[in-house]
Amino acid sequence: MKAKILLVEDEVKLARVVADYLTAAGFDVLKAYTGKEALAFFRHEKPDLVILDIMLPEMNGLEVAKIIRKESSTPIIMLTAKVEESDRVLGLEMGADDYITKPFSLRELVARVKAVLRRARGEVFTPTLRVGDIEIDLQKREVTVAGKPVELTPTEFEILNLLARHPGRVFTRLEILQRIQSYAYESYERTVDVHIRNLRKKIEPDPKNPRYILTVYGVGYKLAEE
Ligand code: CA
C-alpha cells in the first residue's frame, strides 16, 4: 500500500515540484497551502506522514505541528528556510520527527521520508526485534539469546526494548526513565544502572565486556549497531 503524505507548503511552485517528485518516488501526495487547510486535510485524510513548512500564512508550521502532535503520533518532517538552530530545536520540541533546511535536495527529502516512515512503522508493527543473537518478541514480551529464553523483569524488558528500537542512539539515564514511564516513579536515575547490570547478566555472553548494551560514559546507554 502506498504511504500517504500530506505536504504543507505555501510556495505553489515548490509545492508542485516536491509533490511531483514524491509521487514519482511512489507516494500518494496531498497538498495544503495554509496551516488551516493542513489541519483540515490532516483530520480528514489521516496521512501516514506530514511534511510541514514553518513559514506559512495564517498559522505557522510550528503551531500546526503542536496541534497535530496533540491529536496523533503521525510523523512530521519540518521544512525550514531558516538556518537558525532555535527554529529546528523548537520544531523538534513541538513533536516533529525530523527537519530539513531549504534549499534541500529532493533525493535527500525522499531518503528522510523513507527513514521516518520506517522508524514509525517499526515502533508500531514490528512484532520481533533482532540484534545479533538476541530476539525480542514484542507481543509475547519474550526474549531469547541464541535461541535460549531469558527471564527479564518488566523494567529490564522495557529498557532493552527501548534501546533495541533505536540502535546506535544514545539515551541518558533520565531519558530511559522517562521513556519507560510506568516504572519511572519507583526509582532514581542510578537505579537504571542496576537494571542494566542485571539485564547484561542475562543477555550478554560476557557481562563484564558487554557486546550489546554499551555504556556511554557520563551520558547513558545504547545498543550496539551491527
Ligand atoms: Ca513557506
DSSP-assigned letters across all residues of 29-67: EEEE-SHHHHHHHHHHH--SEEEEESS-SSS-HHHHHHH
| Separation of CA 11 and ligand 1 centre (Å) | 6
* pLDDT value of residue 189: 66
At position 97, the amino acid (one-letter code) is D
| Separation of CA 62 and ligand 1 centre (Å) | 12
| Separation of CA 56 and ligand 1 centre (Å) | 5
DSSP 8-state assignment for residue 149: E
Other residues' Cβ atoms within 10 Å of the Cβ of residue 62: 21
On the question of a cis peptide bond just before residue 154, with omega within 30 degrees of 0, the verdict is no
C-alpha grid cell for residue 50?
506530514
Q: Which of 45-54, 119-128, 154-163, 207-216 has the weakest average pLDDT?
A: 119-128
* pLDDT value of residue 122: 64
For range 78-93, the mean pLDDT = 70
> Is the CA virtual torsion 83, 85, 90, 92 positive or negative?
positive
Residue 91: pLDDT over 80: no
Under the banding of pLDDT at 50, 70 and 90, the label for residue 124 is low
| Separation of CA 6 and ligand 1 centre (Å) | 15
Under CATH, what is the fold of the domain 128-223?
Arc Repressor Mutant, subunit A (1.10.10)
Does domain 4-121 fall under CATH 1.10.287.310? My reply is no
pTM for this model (two decimals): 0.56
* pLDDT value of residue 86: 67
What ranges do the domains of the chain cover? 4-121, 128-223
For range 108-120, the mean pLDDT = 86
Instruction: For residue range 171-221, list pLDDT tens digits in order.
Output: 888 888 777 764 444 456 667 888 899 999 999 999 999 999 999 877 789
| Separation of CA 3 and ligand 1 centre (Å) | 24
